[in-house]
């Protein structure tokens, strides 16, 4: 796999001077839980990056629950975390890769090549008896220069324009009941963007927690055109990012993230909403 690395791979890279390990653990129902878990124990050398404080911008009327930080803010965050353009970054969490994938996407969007998500996450590292640290790591600040990859992102107005267009597929990454509009635990409106198909992001993981291989990811998306334009979204642009990785692993090249996602879409009263199966 191109974007996922194993526990063994990371263990063997620990002495690599260019390595930066990022702990991205975060719980939506308890925003401080990730930092507490990091302070309790983490992979040696890891810096902590908070989904809402470091990997999201300020919440406003539009932009969704986890809007993208602006480019300058991202360069500052990465520099403070010791990430330079030459760094090999490995992100991990304990949420199936959802939070780590957000950092992976942000770095790719900024033009970073060597960024990976750790397979199976921190608990697996712990369960294998691999070393952990408890002290806060001393970080050597770096310099980060962005080369923004605008082709990775799509904004709301373009999504609205493209509704129903041939060759464009919208992929909703949330659980099926939320997609169908039967439940909505977080956002004020239930349903999905009209025309979207549902591919729950966690279906990219095996039952044992590791990421599925490329062939199995291809099976998940077998009905989609490899040359088609794919737009991926979720509730707030976070759990869509594991699906972006899965699609890349499956060989799709025209994959864009609608970062504002459902929570941004419904912030515009005139936007249509669908429910049930498409």
Evaluated on CA atoms 232, 237, 242, 245, the torsion sign reads positive
Please compute Rg for the chain using Cα positions: 18
Please, are residues 118 and 91 in contact by the beta-carbon 8 Å criterion?
yes
Sheet containing strand 255-258, strands side by side = 153-154, 255-258, 229-233, 168-172, 197-198
**CA atoms of 244 and 252, how far apart (whole Å):** 9
**CA atoms of 251 and 8, how far apart (whole Å):** 25
**CA atoms of 44 and 22, how far apart (whole Å):** 10
- 24 is an active site residue: no
DSSP tag of 208: T
Among 83, 234, 245, 257, the active-site one is 234
Beta strands in the chain (DSSP E): 4-5, 19-23, 47-48, 88-92, 115-118, 153-154, 168-172, 197-198, 229-233, 255-258
229, burial (CB in 10 Å: exposed 0-12, middle 13-18, buried 19+): middle
DSSP tag of 186: S
Residues labelled catalytic: 234
């Amino acid at each position: 796999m191109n974007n996922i690395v194993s526990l063994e791979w990371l263990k063997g890279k620990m002495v690599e001077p260019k390595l930066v390990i990022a702990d991205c653990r975060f719980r939506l129902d308890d925003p401080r839980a990730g930092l507490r878990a990091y302070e309790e124990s983490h992979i040696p050398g890891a810096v902590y990056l908070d989904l809402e404080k470091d990997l999201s911008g300020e919440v406003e009327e539009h932009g969704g629950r986890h809007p993208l930080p602006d480019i300058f803010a991202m360069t500052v965050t990465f520099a403070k975390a010791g990430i330079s353009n030459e760094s090999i970054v490995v992100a991990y969490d304990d949420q199936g890769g959802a939070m780590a994938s957000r950092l992976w996407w942000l770095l790719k969007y900024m033009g970073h090549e060597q960024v990976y998500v750790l397979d199976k996450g921190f608990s697996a590292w712990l369960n294998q008896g691999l070393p952990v640290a408890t002290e806060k790591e001393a970080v050597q600040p770096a310099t980060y220069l962005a080369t923004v990859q605008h082709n990775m992102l799509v904004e709301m107005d373009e999504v609205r324009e493209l509704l129903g267009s041939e060759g464009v597929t919208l992929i909703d990454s949330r659980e099926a009941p939320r997609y169908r509009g039967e439940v909505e635990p977080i956002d004020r409106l239930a349903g999905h963007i009209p025309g979207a198909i549902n591919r729950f992001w966690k279906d990219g993981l095996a039952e044992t927690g590791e990421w599925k291989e490329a062939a199995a990811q291809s099976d998940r998306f077998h009905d989609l055109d490899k040359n088609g334009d794919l737009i991926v979204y979720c509730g707030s642009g976070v759990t869509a990012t594991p699906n972006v990785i899965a699609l890349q692993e499956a060989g799709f090249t025209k994959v864009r993230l609608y970062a504002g996602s459902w929570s941004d879409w419904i912030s515009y009263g005139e936007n249509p909403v669908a429910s049930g199966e498409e």
